[in-house]
Amino acid sequence: MGTLHIFDMDGTLLTGSTANLEVARRLGTLPELQALEARFAAGELDTRGFSATLHTLWGHLTTADVTAAYTAGPWLDGIADVCADIRARGEHSAVITMSPDFFARHLLDLGFDDVIASRFPPLPFSAPLDPAGILTPDDKVRLAEELRTRHGLPRTRCVAYGDSMSDAPPLPPPHPHRRRQRRPPPGRHRRRRLPRPRPHRGLPPRPLPATQLTRRPP
């Protein structure tokens, strides 16, 4: 029986940083992003309000900007090797992130089977943002379950890799094989190697919520 490996992006594959930080750094809009994150942390914005503001702030963003931001990001070493290893075992890999799809989709090039992210209009933004395409924390649960169902796997054959409790929803806590990573000090990027997947014992099955697959095409 296979295994489904679900990875977080911000702070996990992208160590000590986020997609939004990397794009903001590229565009010179870090102060605006930090102000936006402060409002999000204060509960003034949800993920949809946050993304709507990004859509306005980054109206001039191009695919070349995103590619440059992605390339400059502090990624873990060995991601492509691990994806290849997972595939060679006949297993499955996926990234689920609430960050923008225009950034996260680059991870498909590393070998992930699925990359699921918040959907933005094509770059540069020439269409309004559809709030329905912006993922929320609850969506991570739903999407993880949809992937698991699509692969016909029990929950005991799923493992999540994340850097914070915000990555906990894809699997019920506590999970002995969930990888938690310590955050580096602010402003410091610590490059680490992605751990290779190992067999695990998993958890007894629990009732599943109704789910609907939302797969973002590359």
For 125, the token pair is 């933004």
x-or-dash string of contact with Mg ion, 2-21, rule CB under 5 A = ------x-xx----------
Please provide the size of the chain in residues.
218
Q: Pick the closer one to Mg ion by CB: 115 or 150.
A: 115
The H or E element spanning position 57 is: helix 47-57
Q: How far is the CB of 176 from Mg ion (least distance, A)?
A: 20
Q: Pick the closer one to Mg ion by CB: 11 or 170.
A: 11
Cα–Cα distance measured from residue 94 to residue 150, given in angstroms and rounded to the nearest whole number:
12
Q: How far is the CB of 93 from Mg ion (least distance, A)?
A: 17
# binding residues, Mg ion (CB under 5 A): 4
22 binds Mg ion (CB under 5 A): no
Contacts of 191 by beta carbon, 8 Å cutoff, 6+ apart: 15, 74, 75, 76, 77
Out of 94, 161, 163, 171, point to the residue binding Mg ion (CB under 5 A). 163
Q: Pick the closer one to Mg ion by CB: 46 or 153.
A: 46
Bridge partners (DSSP) listed for residue 114: 94
Cα–Cα distance measured from residue 49 to residue 46, given in angstroms and rounded to the nearest whole number:
5
Which positions lie near Mg ion, rule CB under 5 A?
Answer: 8, 10-11, 163
